[in-house]
């Protein structure tokens, strides 16, 4: 199904923190295809000009920022480390597993609240042109963390989220976290070079088409059972639990670190999971941002903002 050259090429493209940066971009571009025109125009006023009004182009920012001295405080916001025993037992407990200083669940909840106020500012004409960095950062964090929370190893504490679990992929030594971050998405797309960070690539356009045609084994409308930004902590916890479940159902239960995961069947079996999780992240992100924009209506200078 996939060429050996693709497997080897994919090993050269991995990162160490989250879905590879280009995968994050592509999740953002996918989400944009679900935006209403109002969402597109409102968010364009929140992002800094260098992103050319594109959430997709901004979606990888959080990884680089977390590795700066200024942004190091946000590093731990990219995951939630469970205290379970994958693959024998997977259980995420937000109240116990979210570390002091925050985690991906609390980060989504907190930044959603900030972004709601920023949308209000745009609608009241007190914010435009991406001049408020707090607002732009909130949008960029949300776009990024929706990707992170759907990567199974960002919702598991074993081997530091798989970062110290050594494996082989395409005849090269790596670690399990990197396999899920980039190797398997590249394997699924049958590519040997990074995806675009400027526009949506064909593989992800195909996923959007499958979402719209209900071509996943779980129906996309079910993915939105919890999609109300006013219950952000609850929804993010549900999504993290879904990801955590995959750690028992496949990630750790099927892995063998004495075989090549690129040729043993592990990667092939993981493709539908990665496609599903990426698609969930994109649809949920697009829907979340639409609801944030729709839920804040500016009436007039004399009247208050109405929360729908």
Q: What is the pLDDT of residues 95-116, one digit of tens each?
A: 999 999 999 999 999 999 999 9
The pLDDT-based confidence of 297 (bands split at 50, 70, 90) is: low
Which CATH number does the domain housing residue 201 bear? 1.10.575.10
The alpha carbon dihedral of 111, 19, 62, 276 has a sign of negative
Q: Which residues, including other chains, have CB under 8 Å from residue 132's CB and lie 6 or more apart? A: 46, 118, 121
- Check whether 299 has a pLDDT greater than 70: no
Helix (H, G, I), strand (E, B) or coil at 300: coil
**What is the reported pLDDT for 17?**
53
pLDDT above 70: residue 1: no
Q: What is the mean pLDDT of the chain?
A: 92
* CB-count exposure of residue 1 (10 Å: 0-12, 13-18, 19+): exposed
How open is the CA angle 154-157-162, to the nearest 5 degrees? 70
Confidence of residue 301 (pLDDT cuts 50, 70, 90): very low
Closest by CA to 183, choosing from 198, 200, 164, 170, is 170
Calpha distance 101→105 (Å, rounded): 12
- DSSP for 258-290, written as a single string: TSBTTTSSHHHHHHHHHHHHHHHHHHHHHHHHH
What is the total count of domains within the chain? Answer: 1
| Domain containing residue 58 | 4-307
What's the rounded mean pLDDT across residues 129-148? 98
The confidence score (pLDDT) of residue 107 equals 98
At 32-66, the pLDDT tens digits run 999 999 999 999 999 999 999 999 999 999 999 99
296 pLDDT band, cuts 50/70/90, is low
Tell me the whole-structure pTM to 2 decimals. 0.92
pLDDT of residue 300: 36
* Per-residue pLDDT reduced to its tens digit, 81-90: 999 999 999 9
């Amino acid at each position: 199904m996939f060429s050996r050259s693709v497997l080897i090429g994919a090993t050269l493209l991995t990162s160490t923190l989250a879905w590879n940066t280009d995968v994050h971009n592509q999740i953002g571009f996918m989400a944009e295809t679900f935006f209403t025109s109002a969402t597109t125009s409102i968010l364009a006023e929140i992002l800094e000009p260098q992103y050319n009004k594109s959430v997709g182009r901004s979606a990888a920012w959080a990884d680089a920022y977390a590795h700066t001295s200024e942004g190091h405080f946000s590093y731990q916001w990219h995951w939630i480390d469970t205290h379970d025993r994958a693959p024998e037992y997977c259980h995420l407990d937000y109240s116990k597993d979210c570390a002091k200083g925050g985690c991906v669940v609390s980060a989504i909840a907190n930044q959603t609240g900030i972004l709601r106020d920023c949308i209000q500012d745009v609608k009241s004409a007190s914010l435009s042109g991406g001049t408020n960095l707090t607002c732009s950062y909130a949008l960029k964090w949300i776009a990024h963390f929706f990707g992170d929370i759907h990567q199974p190893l960002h919702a598991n504490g074993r081997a530091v989220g798989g970062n110290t679990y050594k494996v082989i992929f395409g005849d090269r030594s790596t670690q399990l976290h990197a396999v899920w971050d980039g190797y398997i998405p590249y394997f699924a797309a049958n590519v040997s070079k990074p995806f675009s960070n400027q526009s949506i690539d064909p593989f992800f356009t195909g996923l959007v088409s499958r979402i719209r045609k209900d071509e996943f084994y779980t129906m996309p409308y079910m993915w939105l059972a919890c999609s109300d930004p006013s219950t952000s902590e609850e929804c993010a916890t549900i999504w993290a639990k879904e990801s955590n479940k995959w750690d028992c159902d496949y990630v750790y239960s099927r892995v063998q670190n004495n075989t090549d995961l690129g040729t043993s069947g592990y990667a092939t079996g993981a493709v539908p999971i990665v496609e599903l999780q990426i698609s969930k992240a994109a649809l949920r992100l697009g829907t979340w941002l639409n609801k944030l924009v729709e839920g804040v209506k500016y009436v007039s200078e004399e009247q208050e903002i109405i929360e729908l």
